[in-house]
Amino acid sequence: MYDWITASYDIKDEPHQRFIQPMVQTSEVKNMFTNTTWANGYITNNENGRKMGYSVSDNRIKIKICPNKYVLGNNVQEAPINDVFETLQDLSNKIGVDLGLFRLEKLDVTHTALTDFVPEAYFPYLCNTSGYSRHVQDTSLYYGANSNKVTLVFYDKVNEVKYGRKKQWGGKQQIPIELNGANLTRFEGRLQSNKEIQRIIGHGAFLGQLFLEEHVMQLQNWWHNSYDSIPKKTKINWQFKDNMGHKAVKETISNLGYMSLGRLEIEKLIELADKQGAFNHRTEKSRIKKQLLGRFETQGMKHDIIKELDEKYKKVEPKW
């Protein structure tokens, strides 16, 4: 469920040198703007060779960890929340400070579905949503919040493991044998500031809160709601019926045109019209969007491929 955590802790009344001892140091960097020197390195899980990023300055400790990879050796699967908690307790003892008191800075909440098709097959049916900018890059679909530090992303976990270029501390990952040949469609919500995490779990957003059932369910519900908020109705009924009349026939033919062109293509054309100065007033763009896309919302249906994805994600629960 938690695929990435960045958190930090302010050191008080203790020499920072003692916090450097548990790590393998790889570099020392001085920030010229703050006149702060950071010792950077990692702490290794000796059972699988995976590492947690670890940095210490005169007054602060920062950790960067993929809990699933650190605990299981891979982040294709989800490590049970209680196992992650116990691992962080062991790390707390090793470092000499309670990691539960660390202030969260970044948090990725994620689940992966074993889907009937490769992830990219679902992208044409995951439409634009208010407040986010949508774009496809390689085998990933991104929704970047326009005013908040939040990113939603669908991506091909198999492709990432096989061809990803991210730094692989402890060696390159492998797809677990039982998942070989599977289509792994991951949906991930990335909260990229303490403020965004506080919006969901409140109380300062500290690392220890991630293991209380109340906050686990708040983050789980946020993940579900983020998925549900993405418009997915791309089909419109165009069937002709007995004695439906000429007006209904006209509307049905119009519906067929809407569906053939496609919801995403209609949105692209509206944006193109805006860029080319076709609207006399800004309100016209909003009005035509509401008129053209509103038909999908009021008369639209989901494609069968999206119904399958909905069903898979609806069944996802936190793994304790």
pLDDT in tens, 75-116: 899 999 999 999 999 999 999 999 999 999 999 999 999 999
Residue ranges of the alpha helices (H) in the chain?
Answer: 17-20, 67-72, 81-95, 157-163, 194-201, 213-228, 245-261, 263-275, 282-299, 304-314
Domain ranges of the chain: 2-228, 233-302
pLDDT at 171 over 70: no
Write the burial class of residue 293 (CB in 10 Å: 0-12 exposed, 13-18 middle, 19+ buried).
Answer: buried
Region 146-172: what's the mean pLDDT? 81
CA-based nearest residue to 102, from 17, 205, 16? 205
pLDDT in tens, 286-319: 888 888 888 888 888 899 999 999 999 999 999 9
The reported pTM is 0.89
- Indicate whether 166 pLDDT > 70: no
> What does the pLDDT read at residue 119?
96
**pLDDT at position 72, please?**
93
Whether 168 has a pLDDT exceeding 60, the answer reads: no
Q: Tally helices (H) and strands (E) across the chain.
A: 10, 12
Two structure tokens written together for 29: 């960097």
| Mean pLDDT for all residues in the chain | 90
**Cβ neighbour number for residue 264 with a 10 Å cutoff:** 16
CA–CA gap between residue 136 and residue 63 (Å, rounded): 30
Pairing of strands 36-44, 24-31: antiparallel
In tens, the pLDDT along 259-282 reads 788 888 888 888 888 889 888 887
* 59-84 pLDDT tens trace: 899 999 999 999 999 989 999 999 99
**Does residue 36 carry a pLDDT above 90?**
no
Tell me the Ramachandran region of residue 49: left when phi exceeds 0, alpha when psi lies from -120 to 50, beta otherwise.
left
